[in-house]
């Protein structure tokens, strides 16, 4: 049975150079028609220029279409309409696209950055432009509707212009497809190369969520997914972000990327390569290559390859490009693919110690990507994570430890916050954890960038470590370590406090930690969903339980989250974002639009 097939439009599933006997293959779009015998290669598509509106492929009586493993059977007569833009213009919906169920596939390349304009030994190349793809239903590609048709604005990123002598290269422009008034796709341009009398850096490649940067010392790929400037080559590479540029301090080649642009090389360092984005430029070494984008330039190949190649010294970056393919009558939801999620993830708090003069439990590990706020252990905020609509991501909310036991880990996607350490007592050390449990003769240690250590017992029990501070020593105050305040939910809330130590002088606690007690009963438990540590006891009692952890996710209100079985949570709207607080359980989450 003949079947028109579109390869899965998700990360790392588009195959390069797929040519199979008995198939017509369109390499640059990932589309192929089974049951034929010809090959339609990249050059056959690239003959179209400007915003020409042509029919690339026309077949009849196609019984079904398969997209990402799902079969659609509403096809009768099929056409693939192709419009390729090498300059700014307007995409016009094909006249036959009347049902609203057409599949509109968009490929974009950002412009490449120019090299620094310096013929001396400090010259460097520009970063390559990113490649981005996405798809829409025909009914969702409707930015402007008038008597002449349905139109969408298309911006093609210009290549970075050649700068004045002994100046940094100019950045490449962003390419944009405006599907409608609220949805667009952007391929970010590469950064220009940098050079002055003291430092040199190749421009970083553009990424899916941000432009590349280049200041000589800092040449990171497009944030928040880009490679990071470093002497270690693996950290300069990226999948969705741009490759980092190399510089005079780190050495090595420019960072490579799968979808972002390759990083520029400095002096005699090679430019970074990309599979889909533009390659990075350089001075006299090998220019970055690309399978589907343009290669970078160097002293031999002085003109950067189209689309999106990074420039060499005295050389401009290559322009970007936008290609729009329309297939008729396919019932698919909109899928802009990758977007970013800001998070606060807190592990379950450790239980207070169970014994004489027991220490407070340590708070659960605290990790945050909220801009301007802190992670635990005095660390700065981390980068938001990128997620893809339709994909599932693991979530686990850590539980608080009972008296004498550690809390359990909380998890979102690749982020793990360690459970808090249990408190010790007069002859038993506090346990290590996200934040360490109070001693005992030795305090438990916190996890780097998640929490602090507990205090040490001196006569009375010591405080457990908090996300924001060390636990107080016993016999002095035994106070639980401070927590960290976050406004991710729209209101300032302190979480991740350590538990207070127990003894004749009991320690207090804040930010969800449980206070110690002066008797031999049961210590005060940490507050649920704060990751607070449990309080210690005086003699012969049981330490308080740690508070459970929490996973808080903030993202654009354009998207809708689905909590899988086993998870408990609520979602609210804060400004233009949604905030989901997951308070218990283990399962998966996914997003749709």
CB 263 within 8 A of CB 212: yes
Indicate whether 58 and 105 sit together in one domain: no
Q: Can you tell me the distance from the alpha carbon of 94 to that of 53, in angstroms, rounded to the nearest whole number? A: 8
| pLDDT at position 95 | 85
DSSP 42: H
| pLDDT at position 292 | 82
| pLDDT at position 326 | 87
Provide the domain count of the chain.
Answer: 3
> Where a domain ends, among 47, 82, 117?
82
The two three-digit tokens of residue 323, written as one number = 């290609």
CB 409 within 8 A of CB 395: no
| pLDDT at position 17 | 27
Indicate whether 261 and 372 sit together in one domain: no
Residues in the chain: 593
| pLDDT at position 192 | 79
Domain residues for 549?
A: 337-593
Q: For residue range 441-466, what is the model confidence (pLDDT) as tens digits?
A: 899 999 999 999 999 988 788 999 99
For the chain, give the longest Cα–Cα distance. Answer: 87
Residues of the chain with pLDDT under 50: 1-78, 197, 199, 216-231, 234, 330-336
| pLDDT at position 182 | 82
| pLDDT at position 165 | 75
> Where a domain ends, among 336, 353, 376?
336
| pLDDT at position 18 | 27
State if pTM tops 0.85: no
| pLDDT at position 263 | 67
Indicate whether 256 and 377 sit together in one domain: no
Distance from the Cα of residue 12 to its chain's centroid: 15
CB 109 within 8 A of CB 188: no
Indicate whether 325 and 367 sit together in one domain: no
Indicate whether 154 and 179 sit together in one domain: yes
Q: Can you tell me the distance from the alpha carbon of 84 to that of 107, in angstroms, rounded to the nearest whole number? A: 9
> Where a domain ends, among 314, 336, 358?
336
Indicate whether 476 and 578 sit together in one domain: yes
| pLDDT at position 342 | 96
| pLDDT at position 201 | 57
CB 263 within 8 A of CB 270: no
Q: For residue range 296-330, what is the model confidence (pLDDT) as tens digits?
A: 777 777 787 888 787 777 788 889 999 998 887 54
- Distances in Å between the Cα of 239 and the Cα atoms of 132, 209, 261, 289, 293 are 12, 12, 10, 16, 15
| pLDDT at position 546 | 97
Indicate whether 517 and 389 sit together in one domain: yes
Which among 320, 309, 344, 265 has a CA at the least distance from the CA of 555?
A: 344
Indicate whether 246 and 350 sit together in one domain: no
| pLDDT at position 12 | 26
Indicate whether 452 and 404 sit together in one domain: yes
| pLDDT at position 247 | 61
CB 129 within 8 A of CB 261: yes
Indicate whether 362 and 497 sit together in one domain: yes
Indicate whether 60 and 95 sit together in one domain: no
SS3 164: coil
Indicate whether 92 and 64 sit together in one domain: no
């Amino acid at each position: 049975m003949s079947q028109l097939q579109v390869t899965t439009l998700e990360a790392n599933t588009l195959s390069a150079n797929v040519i199979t006997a008995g198939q017509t293959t369109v390499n640059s779009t990932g589309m192929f028609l089974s049951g034929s015998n010809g090959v339609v290669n990249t050059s056959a598509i690239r003959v179209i220029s400007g915003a020409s509106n042509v029919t690339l492929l026309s077949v009849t009586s196609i019984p079904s279409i398969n997209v990402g493993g799902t079969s659609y059977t509403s096809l009768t007569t099929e056409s693939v309409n192709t419009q390729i833009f090498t300059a700014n213009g307007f995409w016009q919906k094909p006249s036959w696209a009347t049902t609203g169920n057409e599949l509109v596939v968009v490929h974009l390349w950002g412009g490449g950055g120019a090299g620094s304009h310096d013929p001396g030994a400090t010259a460097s190349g520009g970063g390559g432009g990113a490649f981005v793809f996405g798809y829409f239903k025909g009914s969702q590609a409707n930015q402007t509707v008038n008597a002449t048709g349905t139109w969408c604005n298309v911006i093609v990123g210009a290549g970075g212009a050649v700068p004045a002598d002994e100046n940094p290269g100019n950045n490449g422009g962003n390419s944009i497809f405006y599907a409608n008034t609220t949805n667009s796709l952007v391929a970010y341009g590469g950064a220009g190369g940098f050079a002055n009398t003291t430092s040199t850096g190749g421009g970083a490649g553009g990424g899916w969520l941000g432009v590349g940067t280049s200041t000589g010392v800092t040449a990171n790929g497009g944030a928040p997914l880009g490679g990071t400037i470093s002497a270690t080559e693996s950290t300069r590479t990226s999948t969705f972000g741009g490759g980092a540029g190399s510089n005079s301090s780190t050495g090595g080649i420019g960072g490579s990327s799968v979808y972002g642009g390759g990083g520029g090389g400095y002096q005699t360092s090679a430019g970074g390569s990309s599979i889909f984005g533009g390659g990075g430029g350089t001075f006299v070494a090998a220019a970055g290559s690309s399978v589907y984008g343009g290669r970078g330039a160097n002293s031999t190949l002085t003109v950067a390859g189209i689309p999106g190649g990074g420039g060499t010294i005295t050389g401009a970056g290559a322009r970007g490009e936008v290609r729009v393919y329309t297939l008729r009558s396919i019932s698919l939801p909109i899928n802009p693919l990758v977007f970013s999620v800001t998070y606060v993830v807190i592990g379950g708090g450790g239980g207070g110690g169970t014994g004489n003069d027991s220490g407070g439990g340590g708070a659960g590990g605290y990790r945050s990507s909220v801009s301007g706020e802190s992670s635990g252990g005095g660390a700065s905020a981390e980068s938001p994570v990128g997620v893809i609509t339709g994909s599932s991501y693991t979530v686990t909310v850590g539980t608080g430890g009972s008296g004498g036991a550690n809390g359990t880990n909380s998890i979102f996607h690749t982020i793990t916050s360690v459970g808090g350490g249990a408190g010790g007592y007069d002859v038993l050390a506090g346990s290590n954890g996200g934040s360490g449990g109070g001693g005992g003769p030795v305090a438990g240690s916190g996890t780097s960038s998640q929490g602090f250590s507990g205090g040490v017992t001196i006569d009375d029990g010591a405080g457990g470590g908090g996300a924001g501070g060390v636990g107080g020593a016993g016999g002095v105050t035994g106070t639980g370590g401070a927590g960290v305040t976050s406004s991710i939910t729209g209101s300032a809330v302190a979480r991740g406090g350590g538990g207070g130590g127990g003894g004749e002088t009991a320690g207090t606690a804040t930010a969800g930690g449980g206070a110690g007690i002066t008797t031999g009963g049961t210590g005060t438990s940490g507050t649920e969903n704060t990751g607070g540590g449990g309080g210690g006891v005086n003699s012969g009692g049981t330490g308080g339980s740690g508070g459970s952890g929490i996973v808080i996710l903030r993202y654009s209100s354009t998207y809708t989250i689905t909590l899988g079985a086993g998870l408990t949570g609520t979602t609210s709207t804060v400004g233009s974002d949604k905030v989901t607080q997951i308070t218990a359980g283990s399962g998966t989450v996914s997003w749709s639009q």
